[in-house]
Protein backbone atom coordinates (compact mmCIF):
# COMPACT_ATOMS: atom_id res chain seq x y z
CA UNK A 1 0.00 0.00 0.00
CA UNK A 2 1.44 3.30 -1.07
CA UNK A 3 2.59 6.11 1.18
CA UNK A 4 2.22 4.32 4.53
CA UNK A 5 4.83 4.82 7.24
CA UNK A 6 5.43 2.11 9.85
CA UNK A 7 6.26 2.46 13.54
CA UNK A 8 8.87 -0.29 13.20
CA UNK A 9 12.29 1.11 14.23
CA UNK A 10 15.93 0.11 14.93
CA UNK A 11 15.01 -0.89 18.50
CA UNK A 12 12.45 -3.31 17.09
CA UNK A 13 15.04 -4.90 14.79
CA UNK A 14 17.30 -5.50 17.84
CA UNK A 15 14.39 -7.14 19.71
CA UNK A 16 13.61 -9.35 16.71
CA UNK A 17 17.27 -10.35 16.28
CA UNK A 18 17.76 -11.27 19.95
CA UNK A 19 14.53 -13.24 20.07
CA UNK A 20 15.25 -15.27 16.95
CA UNK A 21 18.85 -16.05 17.92
CA UNK A 22 17.61 -17.13 21.36
CA UNK A 23 15.18 -19.51 19.65
CA UNK A 24 18.00 -21.12 17.67
CA UNK A 25 20.10 -21.46 20.83
CA UNK A 26 17.24 -23.42 22.44
CA UNK A 27 17.13 -25.76 19.45
CA UNK A 28 20.84 -26.41 19.70
CA UNK A 29 20.67 -26.90 23.48
CA UNK A 30 17.94 -29.58 23.40
CA UNK A 31 19.85 -31.65 20.84
CA UNK A 32 21.70 -33.22 23.79
CA UNK A 33 18.52 -34.99 24.92
CA UNK A 34 17.85 -36.83 21.64
CA UNK A 35 18.66 -40.53 21.84
CA UNK A 36 16.39 -42.19 19.23
CA UNK A 37 13.77 -41.59 16.48
CA UNK A 38 10.88 -41.48 18.97
CA UNK A 39 12.67 -38.65 20.82
CA UNK A 40 13.24 -36.84 17.53
CA UNK A 41 9.74 -37.19 16.07
CA UNK A 42 7.39 -37.29 19.10
CA UNK A 43 9.64 -36.01 21.93
CA UNK A 44 9.87 -39.47 23.52
CA UNK A 45 6.07 -39.38 24.06
CA UNK A 46 6.71 -37.57 27.35
CA UNK A 47 4.87 -34.28 26.80
CA UNK A 48 2.34 -33.33 29.50
CA UNK A 49 -0.93 -31.42 29.19
CA UNK A 50 0.11 -27.77 29.64
CA UNK A 51 3.14 -28.02 27.43
CA UNK A 52 1.15 -29.96 24.84
CA UNK A 53 -1.54 -27.25 24.83
CA UNK A 54 1.09 -24.51 24.45
CA UNK A 55 2.81 -26.40 21.68
CA UNK A 56 -0.36 -27.22 19.78
CA UNK A 57 -1.69 -23.68 20.07
CA UNK A 58 1.72 -22.15 19.33
CA UNK A 59 2.20 -24.30 16.30
CA UNK A 60 -1.30 -23.69 14.95
CA UNK A 61 -1.15 -19.95 15.72
CA UNK A 62 1.52 -19.45 13.08
CA UNK A 63 2.21 -16.38 11.01
CA UNK A 64 0.52 -17.96 8.01
CA UNK A 65 -2.62 -18.79 10.00
CA UNK A 66 -2.76 -15.29 11.39
CA UNK A 67 -2.27 -13.81 7.90
CA UNK A 68 -4.98 -15.89 6.18
CA UNK A 69 -7.41 -15.47 9.06
CA UNK A 70 -6.90 -11.69 9.08
CA UNK A 71 -7.39 -11.66 5.31
CA UNK A 72 -10.73 -13.47 5.77
CA UNK A 73 -11.77 -10.92 8.40
CA UNK A 74 -10.92 -8.14 5.96
CA UNK A 75 -12.64 -9.70 2.93
CA UNK A 76 -15.58 -11.25 4.81
CA UNK A 77 -16.24 -9.02 7.84
CA UNK A 78 -17.76 -10.43 11.05
CA UNK A 79 -19.23 -13.34 9.06
CA UNK A 80 -15.72 -14.81 8.98
CA UNK A 81 -16.16 -15.54 12.71
CA UNK A 82 -18.17 -18.65 11.75
CA UNK A 83 -14.80 -20.20 10.83
CA UNK A 84 -13.50 -19.50 14.34
CA UNK A 85 -16.64 -21.06 15.86
CA UNK A 86 -16.33 -24.36 14.01
CA UNK A 87 -12.55 -24.36 14.57
CA UNK A 88 -13.18 -24.15 18.34
CA UNK A 89 -16.26 -26.33 18.78
CA UNK A 90 -15.08 -29.39 16.84
CA UNK A 91 -11.84 -29.93 18.85
CA UNK A 92 -13.88 -29.53 22.05
CA UNK A 93 -16.17 -32.36 20.91
CA UNK A 94 -13.09 -34.38 19.95
CA UNK A 95 -11.72 -33.76 23.45
CA UNK A 96 -14.85 -35.19 25.07
CA UNK A 97 -15.29 -38.14 22.71
CA UNK A 98 -11.69 -38.94 21.73
CA UNK A 99 -12.97 -39.26 18.15
CA UNK A 100 -10.16 -40.57 15.88
CA UNK A 101 -7.27 -39.25 18.01
CA UNK A 102 -7.62 -41.60 20.99
CA UNK A 103 -7.66 -44.79 18.86
CA UNK A 104 -4.60 -43.41 17.03
CA UNK A 105 -2.78 -42.70 20.29
CA UNK A 106 -3.78 -46.15 21.58
CA UNK A 107 -2.12 -47.74 18.56
CA UNK A 108 1.01 -45.68 19.23
CA UNK A 109 1.36 -44.48 15.65
CA UNK A 110 3.61 -41.49 14.91
CA UNK A 111 2.12 -40.71 11.49
CA UNK A 112 -1.25 -41.30 9.85
CA UNK A 113 0.18 -43.49 7.04
CA UNK A 114 1.59 -45.67 9.79
CA UNK A 115 -2.02 -46.30 10.75
CA UNK A 116 -2.82 -47.10 7.11
CA UNK A 117 -0.06 -49.70 7.25
CA UNK A 118 -1.51 -51.35 10.36
CA UNK A 119 -5.06 -51.34 9.07
CA UNK A 120 -4.75 -51.76 5.30
CA UNK A 121 -1.21 -53.02 4.63
CA UNK A 122 2.14 -51.54 3.65
CA UNK A 123 1.11 -50.70 0.07
CA UNK A 124 -1.59 -48.31 1.27
CA UNK A 125 0.89 -46.88 3.75
CA UNK A 126 3.40 -46.02 1.03
CA UNK A 127 0.73 -44.65 -1.35
CA UNK A 128 -0.87 -42.60 1.43
CA UNK A 129 2.54 -41.41 2.59
CA UNK A 130 3.42 -40.11 -0.88
CA UNK A 131 0.07 -38.30 -1.21
CA UNK A 132 0.39 -36.86 2.27
CA UNK A 133 3.91 -35.58 1.67
CA UNK A 134 3.02 -34.07 -1.74
CA UNK A 135 -0.12 -32.36 -0.42
CA UNK A 136 1.66 -31.24 2.72
CA UNK A 137 4.61 -29.73 0.90
CA UNK A 138 2.31 -27.97 -1.61
CA UNK A 139 0.27 -26.74 1.35
CA UNK A 140 3.42 -25.10 2.70
CA UNK A 141 4.10 -23.57 -0.70
CA UNK A 142 2.75 -20.12 0.07
CA UNK A 143 4.25 -19.81 3.54
CA UNK A 144 7.30 -17.92 2.35
CA UNK A 145 5.21 -15.58 0.24
CA UNK A 146 2.99 -14.80 3.23
CA UNK A 147 6.09 -14.32 5.37
CA UNK A 148 7.67 -11.97 2.85
CA UNK A 149 4.48 -9.88 2.63
CA UNK A 150 4.39 -9.68 6.42
CA UNK A 151 8.02 -8.58 6.74
CA UNK A 152 7.67 -6.00 3.95
CA UNK A 153 4.50 -4.46 5.31
CA UNK A 154 5.42 -4.51 9.00
CA UNK A 155 9.00 -3.31 8.81
CA UNK A 156 8.72 -1.00 5.82
CA UNK A 157 11.50 -2.82 3.94
CA UNK A 158 10.75 -2.12 0.31
CA UNK A 159 13.85 -3.50 -1.39
CA UNK A 160 12.93 -7.03 -2.63
CA UNK A 161 16.57 -8.11 -2.18
CA UNK A 162 16.47 -7.16 1.52
CA UNK A 163 13.20 -9.04 2.01
CA UNK A 164 14.62 -12.11 0.25
CA UNK A 165 17.68 -11.97 2.49
CA UNK A 166 15.52 -11.79 5.62
CA UNK A 167 13.37 -14.72 4.45
CA UNK A 168 16.40 -16.82 3.51
CA UNK A 169 18.01 -16.10 6.89
CA UNK A 170 14.79 -17.18 8.64
CA UNK A 171 14.64 -20.42 6.67
CA UNK A 172 18.28 -21.18 7.48
CA UNK A 173 17.66 -20.58 11.20
CA UNK A 174 14.65 -22.91 11.09
CA UNK A 175 16.64 -25.59 9.30
CA UNK A 176 19.43 -25.40 11.87
CA UNK A 177 17.33 -25.87 14.96
CA UNK A 178 14.83 -28.32 13.45
CA UNK A 179 17.51 -30.64 12.08
CA UNK A 180 19.33 -30.52 15.40
CA UNK A 181 16.59 -30.72 18.00
CA UNK A 182 13.64 -32.42 16.27
CA UNK A 183 10.28 -32.37 18.09
CA UNK A 184 11.77 -31.32 21.44
CA UNK A 185 13.10 -28.06 19.99
CA UNK A 186 9.82 -27.62 18.10
CA UNK A 187 7.83 -27.95 21.31
CA UNK A 188 10.03 -25.60 23.33
CA UNK A 189 10.03 -22.91 20.64
CA UNK A 190 6.26 -23.35 20.23
CA UNK A 191 5.91 -22.68 23.94
CA UNK A 192 7.94 -19.44 23.78
CA UNK A 193 6.00 -18.36 20.74
CA UNK A 194 2.68 -19.15 22.40
CA UNK A 195 3.49 -16.72 25.22
CA UNK A 196 4.76 -13.86 23.06
CA UNK A 197 2.09 -14.16 20.41
CA UNK A 198 -0.86 -14.69 22.74
CA UNK A 199 -0.14 -11.59 24.81
CA UNK A 200 0.96 -9.61 21.72
CA UNK A 201 -2.26 -10.28 19.82
CA UNK A 202 -4.41 -9.60 22.87
CA UNK A 203 -2.61 -6.27 23.31
CA UNK A 204 -3.04 -5.40 19.62
CA UNK A 205 -6.79 -6.07 19.89
CA UNK A 206 -7.05 -3.85 22.95
CA UNK A 207 -5.17 -1.00 21.27
CA UNK A 208 -7.21 -1.37 18.07
CA UNK A 209 -10.55 -1.17 19.87
CA UNK A 210 -9.47 1.82 21.96
CA UNK A 211 -8.22 3.60 18.82
CA UNK A 212 -11.13 2.82 16.49
CA UNK A 213 -14.13 2.18 18.75
CA UNK A 214 -16.60 -0.69 18.36
CA UNK A 215 -19.25 1.35 16.53
CA UNK A 216 -16.77 2.37 13.84
CA UNK A 217 -15.83 -1.26 13.27
CA UNK A 218 -19.47 -2.28 12.84
CA UNK A 219 -20.11 0.74 10.62
CA UNK A 220 -17.17 -0.02 8.32
CA UNK A 221 -18.24 -3.65 7.86
CA UNK A 222 -21.83 -2.57 7.18
CA UNK A 223 -20.69 0.00 4.61
CA UNK A 224 -18.38 -2.33 2.67
CA UNK A 225 -20.02 -5.76 3.07
CA UNK A 226 -23.63 -4.96 3.99
CA UNK A 227 -25.71 -7.82 5.47
CA UNK A 228 -23.25 -10.45 4.22
CA UNK A 229 -20.59 -8.98 6.52
CA UNK A 230 -22.58 -10.23 9.52
CA UNK A 231 -24.63 -13.20 8.31
CA UNK A 232 -22.30 -16.00 7.11
CA UNK A 233 -25.14 -17.85 5.36
CA UNK A 234 -25.96 -14.79 3.22
CA UNK A 235 -25.72 -15.59 -0.51
CA UNK A 236 -23.55 -12.52 -1.24
CA UNK A 237 -21.03 -13.62 1.34
CA UNK A 238 -19.73 -17.04 2.36
CA UNK A 239 -22.94 -19.07 1.89
CA UNK A 240 -23.99 -22.47 3.22
CA UNK A 241 -21.62 -24.60 1.10
CA UNK A 242 -18.59 -22.58 2.23
CA UNK A 243 -19.71 -22.97 5.86
CA UNK A 244 -19.97 -26.75 5.37
CA UNK A 245 -16.50 -26.77 3.83
CA UNK A 246 -15.12 -24.85 6.83
CA UNK A 247 -16.85 -27.23 9.26
CA UNK A 248 -14.98 -30.05 7.56
CA UNK A 249 -11.61 -28.35 7.05
CA UNK A 250 -11.12 -25.74 9.78
CA UNK A 251 -13.07 -27.93 12.22
CA UNK A 252 -12.64 -31.67 11.82
CA UNK A 253 -9.59 -31.92 9.57
CA UNK A 254 -7.43 -29.29 11.27
CA UNK A 255 -7.85 -30.91 14.65
CA UNK A 256 -7.96 -34.63 13.91
CA UNK A 257 -6.81 -35.48 10.39
CA UNK A 258 -4.03 -33.01 9.72
CA UNK A 259 -0.71 -34.71 10.38
CA UNK A 260 0.82 -31.95 12.52
CA UNK A 261 -2.12 -32.04 14.95
CA UNK A 262 -1.98 -35.83 15.08
CA UNK A 263 1.75 -35.67 15.86
CA UNK A 264 0.94 -33.55 18.90
CA UNK A 265 -1.60 -36.16 20.01
CA UNK A 266 0.99 -38.89 19.41
CA UNK A 267 3.51 -36.99 21.54
CA UNK A 268 1.13 -36.95 24.51
CA UNK A 269 1.96 -39.00 27.57
CA UNK A 270 -1.39 -40.85 27.74
CA UNK A 271 -4.90 -41.06 26.26
CA UNK A 272 -6.15 -38.88 29.09
CA UNK A 273 -3.60 -36.20 28.14
CA UNK A 274 -4.80 -36.43 24.51
CA UNK A 275 -8.38 -35.70 25.58
CA UNK A 276 -7.35 -32.85 27.89
CA UNK A 277 -5.12 -31.49 25.14
CA UNK A 278 -8.06 -31.21 22.76
CA UNK A 279 -10.44 -29.75 25.35
CA UNK A 280 -7.98 -27.01 26.28
CA UNK A 281 -6.65 -26.47 22.77
CA UNK A 282 -10.20 -25.85 21.51
CA UNK A 283 -9.85 -22.33 22.96
CA UNK A 284 -6.60 -21.92 21.03
CA UNK A 285 -8.20 -23.26 17.84
CA UNK A 286 -11.01 -20.70 18.25
CA UNK A 287 -8.66 -17.85 19.02
CA UNK A 288 -6.22 -18.53 16.20
CA UNK A 289 -9.01 -17.52 13.83
CA UNK A 290 -10.98 -15.10 16.00
CA UNK A 291 -8.24 -12.63 17.01
CA UNK A 292 -6.62 -12.25 13.56
CA UNK A 293 -10.04 -12.04 11.89
CA UNK A 294 -10.95 -9.29 14.30
CA UNK A 295 -7.68 -7.48 13.54
CA UNK A 296 -8.49 -7.87 9.82
CA UNK A 297 -11.83 -6.13 10.48
CA UNK A 298 -9.97 -3.43 12.43
CA UNK A 299 -7.66 -3.02 9.42
CA UNK A 300 -10.72 -2.59 7.20
CA UNK A 301 -12.16 0.14 9.43
CA UNK A 302 -8.77 1.85 9.79
CA UNK A 303 -7.82 1.95 6.11
CA UNK A 304 -11.31 2.89 4.88
CA UNK A 305 -10.68 6.14 6.74
CA UNK A 306 -7.56 6.92 4.68
CA UNK A 307 -8.75 8.00 1.19
CA UNK A 308 -5.57 7.07 -0.77
CA UNK A 309 -5.46 3.57 0.73
CA UNK A 310 -9.23 3.15 0.48
CA UNK A 311 -9.15 3.72 -3.28
CA UNK A 312 -6.40 1.12 -3.58
CA UNK A 313 -8.35 -1.50 -1.62
CA UNK A 314 -11.75 -1.05 -3.24
CA UNK A 315 -12.85 -2.02 -6.77
CA UNK A 316 -14.86 0.54 -8.82
CA UNK A 317 -18.15 -1.11 -7.69
CA UNK A 318 -17.23 -0.52 -4.03
CA UNK A 319 -16.42 -4.14 -3.21
CA UNK A 320 -13.05 -5.36 -1.92
CA UNK A 321 -10.49 -5.54 -4.72
CA UNK A 322 -9.72 -9.05 -6.07
CA UNK A 323 -6.00 -9.01 -5.25
CA UNK A 324 -4.98 -11.67 -2.73
CA UNK A 325 -1.48 -10.37 -2.05
CA UNK A 326 -2.78 -6.84 -1.40
CA UNK A 327 -5.58 -7.91 0.94
CA UNK A 328 -3.13 -10.18 2.77
CA UNK A 329 -0.87 -7.20 3.45
CA UNK A 330 -3.62 -5.25 5.26
CA UNK A 331 -3.00 -7.01 8.58
CA UNK A 332 0.78 -6.33 8.89
CA UNK A 333 0.30 -2.78 7.58
CA UNK A 334 -2.29 -2.26 10.28
CA UNK A 335 0.01 -3.61 13.01
CA UNK A 336 2.73 -1.27 11.73
CA UNK A 337 0.36 1.65 12.23
CA UNK A 338 -1.29 0.76 15.51
CA UNK A 339 1.48 -0.70 17.70
CA UNK A 340 4.04 1.55 19.42
CA UNK A 341 7.85 1.18 19.14
CA UNK A 342 9.14 -1.73 21.23
CA UNK A 343 5.78 -3.50 21.36
CA UNK A 344 5.85 -3.80 17.58
CA UNK A 345 9.29 -5.42 17.87
CA UNK A 346 8.01 -7.97 20.39
CA UNK A 347 4.90 -8.76 18.36
CA UNK A 348 6.99 -8.83 15.14
CA UNK A 349 9.46 -11.21 16.79
CA UNK A 350 6.57 -13.39 17.96
CA UNK A 351 5.10 -13.45 14.48
CA UNK A 352 8.43 -14.30 12.87
CA UNK A 353 9.00 -16.96 15.51
CA UNK A 354 5.52 -18.21 14.63
CA UNK A 355 6.59 -18.31 11.02
CA UNK A 356 9.65 -20.33 11.96
CA UNK A 357 7.67 -22.56 14.30
CA UNK A 358 5.14 -23.47 11.61
CA UNK A 359 7.98 -24.22 9.25
CA UNK A 360 9.81 -26.41 11.74
CA UNK A 361 6.67 -28.40 12.60
CA UNK A 362 5.78 -28.94 8.97
CA UNK A 363 9.32 -29.62 7.75
CA UNK A 364 9.81 -32.19 10.49
CA UNK A 365 6.41 -33.66 9.82
CA UNK A 366 6.76 -34.16 6.05
CA UNK A 367 10.36 -35.34 6.26
CA UNK A 368 9.32 -37.91 8.91
CA UNK A 369 6.44 -39.09 6.73
CA UNK A 370 8.73 -39.60 3.71
CA UNK A 371 11.29 -41.49 5.80
CA UNK A 372 8.97 -43.58 7.99
CA UNK A 373 6.08 -44.18 5.58
CA UNK A 374 7.71 -44.29 2.17
CA UNK A 375 11.43 -45.05 2.32
CA UNK A 376 11.53 -47.45 5.28
CA UNK A 377 8.56 -49.65 4.14
CA UNK A 378 9.99 -49.76 0.59
CA UNK A 379 13.27 -51.02 2.09
CA UNK A 380 11.42 -53.76 3.97
CA UNK A 381 11.75 -51.98 7.32
CA UNK A 382 15.50 -52.29 7.42
CA UNK A 383 17.09 -48.95 8.16
CA UNK A 384 19.12 -47.96 11.18
CA UNK A 385 18.06 -45.12 13.48
CA UNK A 386 21.16 -43.19 12.47
CA UNK A 387 20.34 -43.51 8.75
CA UNK A 388 16.72 -42.48 9.36
CA UNK A 389 17.77 -39.36 11.25
CA UNK A 390 20.33 -38.46 8.57
CA UNK A 391 17.78 -38.91 5.78
CA UNK A 392 15.13 -36.90 7.68
CA UNK A 393 17.63 -34.05 8.11
CA UNK A 394 18.61 -34.15 4.42
CA UNK A 395 14.94 -34.10 3.38
CA UNK A 396 14.24 -31.10 5.63
CA UNK A 397 16.91 -29.15 3.74
CA UNK A 398 15.61 -30.30 0.31
CA UNK A 399 12.01 -29.40 1.14
CA UNK A 400 13.21 -25.99 2.36
CA UNK A 401 14.94 -25.40 -0.99
CA UNK A 402 11.79 -26.46 -2.90
CA UNK A 403 9.66 -24.03 -0.91
CA UNK A 404 11.94 -21.14 -1.79
CA UNK A 405 11.43 -21.86 -5.50
CA UNK A 406 7.68 -22.65 -5.32
CA UNK A 407 6.76 -19.49 -3.41
CA UNK A 408 8.46 -17.39 -6.10
CA UNK A 409 6.91 -19.26 -9.05
CA UNK A 410 3.28 -20.11 -8.12
CA UNK A 411 0.59 -17.47 -8.85
CA UNK A 412 -1.73 -17.53 -5.80
CA UNK A 413 -4.93 -16.22 -7.44
CA UNK A 414 -7.25 -16.96 -4.46
CA UNK A 415 -7.46 -16.18 -0.74
CA UNK A 416 -4.60 -17.83 1.13
CA UNK A 417 -7.00 -19.79 3.37
CA UNK A 418 -8.70 -21.29 0.32
CA UNK A 419 -5.33 -22.26 -1.22
CA UNK A 420 -4.31 -23.90 2.05
CA UNK A 421 -7.55 -25.83 2.46
CA UNK A 422 -7.74 -27.11 -1.09
CA UNK A 423 -4.06 -28.08 -1.38
CA UNK A 424 -4.42 -29.93 1.94
CA UNK A 425 -7.57 -31.57 0.61
CA UNK A 426 -5.49 -33.56 -1.90
CA UNK A 427 -4.50 -35.61 1.12
CA UNK A 428 -7.15 -35.17 3.78
CA UNK A 429 -10.25 -36.00 1.73
CA UNK A 430 -8.91 -39.53 1.29
CA UNK A 431 -7.45 -39.62 4.79
CA UNK A 432 -10.81 -38.73 6.32
CA UNK A 433 -12.42 -41.75 4.68
CA UNK A 434 -9.57 -44.09 5.67
CA UNK A 435 -9.43 -42.93 9.28
CA UNK A 436 -13.13 -42.67 10.06
CA UNK A 437 -14.16 -45.85 8.27
CA UNK A 438 -10.94 -47.68 9.07
CA UNK A 439 -11.35 -47.09 12.80
CA UNK A 440 -15.12 -47.36 13.13
CA UNK A 441 -16.15 -49.79 10.34
CA UNK A 442 -14.72 -53.31 10.37
CA UNK A 443 -15.50 -54.02 6.72
CA UNK A 444 -13.33 -51.19 5.36
CA UNK A 445 -10.94 -52.86 2.92
CA UNK A 446 -7.63 -52.27 1.17
CA UNK A 447 -9.21 -51.71 -2.28
CA UNK A 448 -11.61 -49.19 -0.77
CA UNK A 449 -8.63 -47.42 0.79
CA UNK A 450 -6.76 -47.16 -2.52
CA UNK A 451 -9.89 -45.81 -4.25
CA UNK A 452 -10.58 -43.26 -1.51
CA UNK A 453 -7.01 -41.95 -1.54
CA UNK A 454 -7.11 -41.63 -5.33
CA UNK A 455 -10.48 -39.83 -5.26
CA UNK A 456 -9.06 -37.35 -2.77
CA UNK A 457 -6.57 -36.29 -5.43
CA UNK A 458 -9.51 -34.70 -7.34
CA UNK A 459 -9.20 -31.80 -4.93
CA UNK A 460 -6.25 -30.53 -6.96
CA UNK A 461 -8.83 -29.05 -9.37
CA UNK A 462 -9.85 -26.62 -6.65
CA UNK A 463 -6.63 -24.67 -7.25
CA UNK A 464 -7.45 -21.82 -9.62
CA UNK A 465 -4.22 -22.01 -11.65
CA UNK A 466 -4.96 -25.73 -12.23
CA UNK A 467 -8.52 -24.88 -13.33
CA UNK A 468 -7.11 -22.36 -15.80
CA UNK A 469 -4.49 -24.83 -17.06
CA UNK A 470 -7.12 -27.50 -17.89
CA UNK A 471 -9.60 -24.95 -19.30
CA UNK A 472 -12.25 -25.25 -16.57
CA UNK A 473 -14.56 -22.34 -15.80
CA UNK A 474 -13.95 -20.99 -12.31
CA UNK A 475 -15.47 -23.39 -9.76
CA UNK A 476 -15.48 -22.54 -6.06
CA UNK A 477 -12.73 -24.42 -4.19
CA UNK A 478 -15.29 -25.32 -1.50
CA UNK A 479 -17.50 -27.10 -4.04
CA UNK A 480 -14.61 -29.13 -5.43
CA UNK A 481 -13.41 -29.98 -1.93
CA UNK A 482 -16.85 -31.15 -0.78
CA UNK A 483 -17.26 -33.20 -3.96
CA UNK A 484 -13.83 -34.86 -3.49
CA UNK A 485 -14.69 -35.65 0.15
CA UNK A 486 -18.02 -37.22 -0.84
CA UNK A 487 -16.36 -39.18 -3.67
CA UNK A 488 -13.65 -40.51 -1.34
CA UNK A 489 -16.20 -41.67 1.26
CA UNK A 490 -18.47 -43.23 -1.38
CA UNK A 491 -15.61 -45.06 -3.11
CA UNK A 492 -14.25 -46.28 0.22
CA UNK A 493 -17.64 -47.84 1.05
CA UNK A 494 -18.25 -49.16 -2.47
CA UNK A 495 -14.73 -50.56 -2.86
CA UNK A 496 -14.92 -52.23 0.56
CA UNK A 497 -18.28 -53.86 -0.17
CA UNK A 498 -17.30 -55.05 -3.65
CA UNK A 499 -13.73 -56.07 -2.81
CA UNK A 500 -13.55 -57.07 0.87
CA UNK A 501 -10.20 -58.06 2.32
CA UNK A 502 -9.63 -61.84 2.19
CA UNK A 503 -8.21 -61.90 5.68
CA UNK A 504 -9.33 -59.16 8.07
CA UNK A 505 -6.33 -57.39 9.57
CA UNK A 506 -8.53 -55.22 11.86
CA UNK A 507 -5.60 -53.94 13.86
CA UNK A 508 -7.00 -50.47 13.86
CA UNK A 509 -10.69 -51.30 13.77
CA UNK A 510 -12.67 -51.03 16.96
CA UNK A 511 -16.22 -51.58 17.95
CA UNK A 512 -16.55 -48.03 19.24
Q: What residues make contact with other proteins under the rule CB under 8 A? A: 30, 33, 35-36, 39, 43-44, 46-54, 57, 78, 81, 84-85, 88, 184, 187-188, 191, 194-195, 198-199, 202, 205, 214, 218, 222, 227, 230-231, 280, 283-284, 286-287, 290-291, 294
Q: What are phi and psi of 72, to 5 degrees?
A: -65, -40
Q: Give me the least distance between CB of 260 and other proteins, in Å please.
A: 18
Q: Which is nearer to other proteins, 33 or 106 (CB)?
A: 33
Query: H/E/C letters for each residue in 317-367?
Result: CCCECCCHHHHHCHHHHHHHHHCCCCHHHHHHHHHHHHHHHHHHHHHHHHH
Q: How many Å is the Cα radius of gyration of the chain?
A: 22
Whole-number Å distance between alpha carbons of 392 and 408: 25
Residues 6+ apart with CB under 8 A from 16: 345, 348, 349, 352
Q: Which is nearer to other proteins, 51 or 444 (CB)?
A: 51
Rounded (5°) CA angle 218-222-223: 120
Q: Give me the least distance between CB of 85 and other proteins, in Å please.
A: 7
Q: Give me the least distance between CB of 46 and other proteins, in Å please.
A: 5
Whole-number Å distance between alpha carbons of 121 and 114: 9
Q: Interhelix angle for 330-338 vs 143-155, to 10°? A: 30
Rounded (5°) CA angle 56-62-65: 110
Query: H/E/C letters for each residue in 445-486?
Result: CHHHHHHHHHHHHHHHHHCHHHHHHCCCCCCCHHHHHHHHHH
Q: Which is nearer to other proteins, 44 or 413 (CB)?
A: 44
Q: Which is nearer to other proteins, 278 or 280 (CB)?
A: 280
Q: Which is nearer to other proteins, 215 or 511 (CB)?
A: 215
Is residue 425 within 8 Å of residue 257, measured between CB atoms?
no
Is residue 273 within 8 Å of residue 105, measured between CB atoms?
no
Q: Which is nearer to other proteins, 42 or 328 (CB)?
A: 42
Q: How far apart are the first and last CA of the chain?
A: 54
Q: Which is nearer to other proteins, 200 or 456 (CB)?
A: 200
Q: Give me the least distance between CB of 86 and other proteins, in Å please.
A: 12
Q: Which is nearer to other proteins, 195 or 398 (CB)?
A: 195
Amino acid sequence: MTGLETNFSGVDWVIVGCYLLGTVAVGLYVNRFISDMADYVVAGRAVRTWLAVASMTGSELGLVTVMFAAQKGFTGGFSAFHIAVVAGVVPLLVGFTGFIVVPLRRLGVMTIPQYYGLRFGQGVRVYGGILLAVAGILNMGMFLKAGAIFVTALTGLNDPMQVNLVMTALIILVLIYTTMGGMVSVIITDYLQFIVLSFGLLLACGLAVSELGWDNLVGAVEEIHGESGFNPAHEDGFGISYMAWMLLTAGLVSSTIWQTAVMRASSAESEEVVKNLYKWSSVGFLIRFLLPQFLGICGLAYFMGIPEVRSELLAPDGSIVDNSELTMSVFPHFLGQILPVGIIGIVGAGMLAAFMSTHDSYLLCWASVIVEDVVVPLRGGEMSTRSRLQLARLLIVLIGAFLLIWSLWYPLGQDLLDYMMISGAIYFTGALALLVLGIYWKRASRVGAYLALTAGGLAVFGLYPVQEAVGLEKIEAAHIGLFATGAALALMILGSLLFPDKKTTNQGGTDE
